Structure 1
């Protein structure tokens, strides 16, 4: 192969990887959960908006989440380089320049808020602004390196999307929107602490004061169990507030019992490789828990609506 051909091949071969690196800066896995919960907030709101407006609202939520993720990666690139789980991210691996990551994050932040304001309303745009600023300044810059309660307080940033979606449709923040916020806020600590239990060496090496590193596994497991217990009544709030029926409520109860069972197993497990396996399983279940719970909200509306429609029609 000639030098020219080799040069063309190398350039073309690396282009998709470079695009993928910029996509990775936006934390697409986190974004997918944010998009889903934000969409659910739009779907179960009592006010229906045009599908295109709903699409733009969810797009703004996605871009805002990605923007915060890019700024987070820019600020934490030194920590990411020390942790096995994150060492191959675009910044510590040297595939993206820090200034490019910061610029992308700032531009997307501004664009996402403007898009939300123009497509829906200023309440939703204000909430999106608050979510981005909270994740960047409160969680990333202030809390993460200073306190083991980083993920407890910082979890508020990830709890905004369903409330933003609700506000995009209604123009306000109701008790139901707040209950969805609180649900994710209380789900976040046991979810991340399960990860931190079996990744504690990573956090210790990077000097991040996650609870298992600072307080030890036993205290972490106790708090994980506590949070799964108080999640049960909070998860039932949409039913108790009349937003959905007991079809969703039953799903929430079953999932809540499952989450508690995983927390008990982690509590009883030894602090060794087998215990790490229990924590890993709880982490995976926590993802399933939130996904199924939020999927049950619009499904409840659909099923119950059709049943009521059939009864009225009959």
Structure 2
């Protein structure tokens, strides 16, 4: 995996701070931080603000470590996909060995420091999440099965459970539902992207569902997983961590998401190509806000309970 060609970057190039930040996948990290913060804030008991800040900091570092390890291992396929070719490792701005070293170092630091800042259970859950994403998903599932996104989605679903565990030292039905919300959201989110990225996954040899089963099957799967996702958000709103804001947001978001999935299911490739995948792109863009709105609503309800006596 270290034999990666350097794309149009001089060997004398010195990586910048921005290159190393990009190595940690800051966009993914932002979602990890937000959902982990939600899990931490809605958990019963609460943490001292400084403990809470350090917990989120080390969860974020763990997410960054996963991103660095993913970029190190996937540099070969990243180099041939338009969406990922400009990442630090395939573009040659960061050496593969550097990415590996940073990923391993941040993994150890984040897990040990989270254990010291909160508890061993939360740290163990973070360690398992890093291992799951870097090894189970990146090194095995992604290149082996079209269910890579389904099973691998668990890695992105753990952060709110880790935030909850940092406060409570365990898991509960509420944290399990937060996990399930992200887990069920991940397949339609990524499959919508795969529909309009067209040949990227074919070129890279990644067995995405669009490659192995075709686009009509992918459209059916998007609808099926969206139907399964909708009740999870409503159920979460009806638990003690939910409330009126979460319930309203869950009903509205999932109604729109279901409509988008039905629209995608009804379309064929000729219609999609005619309007440059307008419906699929709109569904994907909305999915980016879906989780932020859900978890934001949870935090608003938590604030209302604390400050307003609801």
Short-chain TM bin: over 0.9
Deviation at 1:189, TM superposition (A): 0.3
Q: Does the 8 Å CA contact 1:45/1:169 hold for their aligned counterparts?
A: yes
Q: Does the 8 Å CA contact 1:225/1:263 hold for their aligned counterparts?
A: yes
In structure 2, the partner of 1:141 is 139
In structure 2, the partner of 1:18 is 16
**Equivalent residue in structure 1 for 2:40, among 39, 42, 58:** 42
Q: Does the 8 Å CA contact 2:243/2:298 hold for their aligned counterparts?
A: no
**Equivalent residue in structure 1 for 2:216, among 206, 215, 218:** 218
In structure 2, the partner of 1:266 is 264
Tell me the TM-score normalised to structure 1 length: 0.91
Which structure 1 segments of 5+ residues have no match?
1-13, 310-314
In structure 2, the partner of 1:300 is 301
Deviation at 1:304, TM superposition (A): 4.1
Question: Structure 2 CA distance, aligned partners of 1:41 and 1:131?
Answer: 16
**Equivalent residue in structure 2 for 1:200, among 192, 198, 201:** 198
Q: Deviations over 1:185-244 (max 9, x none)?
A: 000000000111111300001110100111111111111111111111111222332222
Secondary structure of 1:145's partner?
Answer: helix
Correspondence list, 1:47-58, <5 A:
47-58=45-56
**Equivalent residue in structure 2 for 1:166, among 164, 167, 180:** 164
Structure number with greater Rg is 1
In structure 2, the partner of 1:127 is 125
Name the structure where helix makes up a greater proportion of residues: 1
| Structure 1 runs, 4 residues or longer, greater than 3 Å off | 304-307
Question: Structure 2 CA distance, aligned partners of 1:236 and 1:301?
Answer: 16
Segment drifting more, 256-265 vs 243-252: 243-252
Question: Structure 2 CA distance, aligned partners of 1:244 and 1:305?
Answer: 13
In structure 1, the partner of 2:292 is 291
In structure 2, the partner of 1:117 is 115
Q: Does the 8 Å CA contact 2:216/2:268 hold for their aligned counterparts?
A: no
Secondary structure of 2:309's partner?
Answer: helix
**Equivalent residue in structure 2 for 1:239, among 237, 240, 243:** 237
**Equivalent residue in structure 1 for 2:99, among 98, 101, 113:** 101
Question: Structure 2 CA distance, aligned partners of 1:136 and 1:166?
Answer: 23
Q: Does the 8 Å CA contact 1:183/1:231 hold for their aligned counterparts?
A: yes
Question: Structure 1 CA distance, aligned partners of 2:106 and 2:36?
Answer: 18
In structure 1, the partner of 2:189 is 191
Question: Structure 1 CA distance, aligned partners of 2:84 and 2:239?
Answer: 41
Question: Structure 1 CA distance, aligned partners of 2:242 and 2:95?
Answer: 47
In structure 2, the partner of 1:176 is 174
Question: Structure 2 CA distance, aligned partners of 1:108 and 1:304?
Answer: 36
Deviation at 1:306, TM superposition (A): 3.6
Secondary structure of 2:144's partner?
Answer: coil
Deviation at 1:249, TM superposition (A): 1.1
Count residues with an aligned counterpart.
Answer: 295
Q: Does the 8 Å CA contact 1:200/1:213 hold for their aligned counterparts?
A: no
